[in-house]
Amino acid sequence: MNQKKTLILGASGFVGAALVQRLVQQGKHVIALGHAEAIEHQGKLVRVRGTIEDCELLKALLPECSHVVHAASRTTPGTSAHEPELEILSNLLPLGNLLKCMAGFPGRILIYLSSAGAIYGEIAHDATECSPLRPRSYYGAGKAAAEAFIHANTMTSDTRAIIIRPTNLYGPGQPIGKGFAIVPTLLQRALDGQPFQIWGDGSAVRDFIYLDDLLDALIAVMTQPPDQKFGIYNIASGNLASILQLVELCQTTSNRRIHLEFKPARGVDVARVSPHSERIAEIYGWNASTSLKSGLQRTWRWFSSHASPGPSATVLL
């Protein structure tokens, strides 16, 4: 490789787009691959429209790259809730194609974005990277299966891999998804006045990680070569809040009332998601630095400037 580049898969998505921007700002050479990408060169950034199902395209790009960041996903916990085949067809089959292609290019490092909120199940309140995986959704099962496939690939090829397991991610630019992305959904409800649905009594506790902190973690693991063929790292902030507490914080941040609609609890939800993240702190020196209050304020500033309030939005006095 004459010039080390980073290939970002899912470069049009929430994390992928932000990571592309961060790397380019740091003067890194980046290839951004996504189905909605433009086809253009922008200095050290090359944008390529395509998907990881295209093996010939991957074989053309991989010789230039030292790192591949897999930030692509075509499902959310909501979209695959009753259709497990979506996880197989939309995520696992494309991943298998990527792994097959990467096996022909020794020495590459794959960084895969998994989910600490979806794979640990009922033990997510105190999980370490060595905890057993007990996913309660097909989305979580898909992530666990992807990790297993990646591990098997590192055992049978010269590829090295790092699995990143973030908790509940939020930040500027995050789209609203079905049963996914609670912070932008709450902020949208603050703007449009429509009710926010809570499944259960709102006491479920989650760890919330701000986008910039996740990017810092990704940069950290990309900067220092991995000391093993396969590594796993939880990415948690320690910023815990119940759903009702998060609603209150979003109301305070937006100065708007959010109307609530309570629904019966769902079997896929767990009471608490608060995994440990000491391993990445010890090895890479990473710790989250953004408080939940500050992160919500930054997200609200972006969100309120990119959306229009609905006619029934209520401003708090």
pLDDT of 189-246, one tens digit each? 999 999 999 999 999 999 999 999 999 999 999 999 888 999 999 999 999 999 999 9
Characterize 22-36 residue by residue with b for buried, 16 or more Cβ atoms within 10 angstroms of its Cβ, and e for exposed: bbbeeebbbbbbbee
User: What length is written for the chain?
Assistant: 317
Q: pLDDT tens across 48-68, in order?
A: 999 999 999 999 999 999 999
Give the global pTM: 0.94
CA dihedral 12, 176, 241, 137 (to 10 degrees): -90
**What would the mean pLDDT of 84-90 be, rounded to a whole number?**
96
The tokens describing 103, both together, are 């096996």
pLDDT value for 179: 65
Distance CA 258, CA 192 (A): 9
Do residues 147 and 278 touch, judged by C-beta distance below 8 A? no
Instruction: Tell me the pLDDT of the chain averaged across its residues.
Output: 93
CATH class of 5-174+209-237: alpha beta
Q: Which helix (H) or strand (E) holds 231?
A: strand 230-235
Place of tokens 């390529």: 48
In contact, 181 and 174? CB cutoff 8 Å: yes
For tokens 């998804």, the residue is 177
3-state SS assignment for residue 26: coil
| Banded pLDDT at 148 (limits 50, 70, 90) | very high
Residue 186: which of 257, 272, 135, 115 has the closest Cα?
Answer: 257
The phi and psi torsions of 196 (rounded to 5 degrees) equal: -100, 125
Q: Token pair 């794959």 is at which residue?
A: 110
The mean pLDDT value for 2-16 works out to 89
Please tell me the distance from the alpha carbon of residue 248 to that of residue 143, in angstroms, as a whole number.
31
The SS3 of residue 288 is coil
